[in-house]
C-alpha cells in the first residue's frame, strides 16, 4: 500500500447546522457512496470496516475522539489507525467533520487548557461551513461570520497603465 510511505495533501471540511438542514445529504450528493467511509461510531474499532476510501466522513461529531487522535487523523503524515483486529492504513485525503455544534463548541476544555493544541486542530481545517447560513460560502472559524468573496475592482480606462 503506497499510503504507508506517502504524505497525503489533506482537505478537511467542518460542516455544522441544525438537524435536518442537509449536512449529511450534501456529502453524499457531492461524492456518492462508494468512495466515502462514514462513521458515527467513535469507540474503539470505529475503523474496522474501512477499505481505503478516499473520503472520511465523521458524522454527528461531538468532540468524539481524544484531541491527540483527531490531530493524527487529520494530519497528512502516513498513519495506521488501530482497529480491533487489524490496523488500517489511512488512504483518505479528504475529511468531512459534520455536527450540529459549531466548531467553537467542540473541545471547549482544550480551548481553555491547551490553546496551542486547539490552534493545531484549527490549522488542520481547510474550511468551515454553517449550513444554516450558506452551503456555498465558508465562515470565519472564530467569528462564525460568512467570508465575503473577493470583489474585482473595475478599471474604466487602462490608457495610463505602463504595460
Supply the pLDDT for residue 5: 85
Q: Map out the domains of the chain with their CATH numbers.
A: 2-130 (3.40.50.300)
C-alpha cell at 127: 474550511
- Mean of the pLDDT values across residues 36-60? 92
For 110-129, write each residue's pLDDT tens digit. Answer: 999 999 999 999 999 999 99
Segment holding 74, helix H or strand E: helix 67-74
Confidence band of 99 (pLDDT split at 50, 70, 90): very high
Predicted structure pTM score? 0.86
For 103-114, write each residue's pLDDT tens digit. Answer: 999 999 999 999
In whole angstroms, what is the distance from residue 41 CA to residue 52 CA?
18
In whole angstroms, what is the distance from residue 65 CA to residue 160 CA?
59
Amino acid at each position: 500500500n503506497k499510503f504507508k510511505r506517502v504524505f497525503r495533501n489533506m482537505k478537511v471540511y467542518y460542516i455544522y447546522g441544525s438537524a435536518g438542514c442537509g449536512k449529511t445529504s450534501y456529502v453524499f450528493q457531492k461524492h456518492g457512496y462508494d468512495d466515502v467511509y462514514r462513521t458515527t461510531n467513535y469507540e474503539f474499532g470505529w475503523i474496522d470496516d474501512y477499505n481505503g476510501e478516499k473520503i472520511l466522513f465523521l458524522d454527528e461529531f461531538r468532540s468524539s475522539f481524544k484531541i491527540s487522535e483527531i490531530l493524527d487523523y487529520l494530519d497528512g503524515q502516513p498513519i495506521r489507525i488501530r482497529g480491533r483486529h487489524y490496523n488500517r492504513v489511512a488512504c483518505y485525503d479528504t475529511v468531512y467533520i459534520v455536527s450540529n455544534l459549531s466548531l467553537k463548541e467542540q473541545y471547549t476544555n482544550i480551548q481553555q487548557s491547551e490553546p496551542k493544541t486547539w490552534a493545531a486542530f484549527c490549522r488542520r481545517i481547510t474550511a468551515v461551513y454553517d449550513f444554516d447560513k450558506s452551503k456555498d460560502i465558508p465562515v470565519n472559524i472564530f467569528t462564525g461570520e460568512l467570508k465575503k468573496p473577493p470583489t474585482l475592482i473595475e478599471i474604466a480606462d487602462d490608457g495610463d497603465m505602463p504595460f
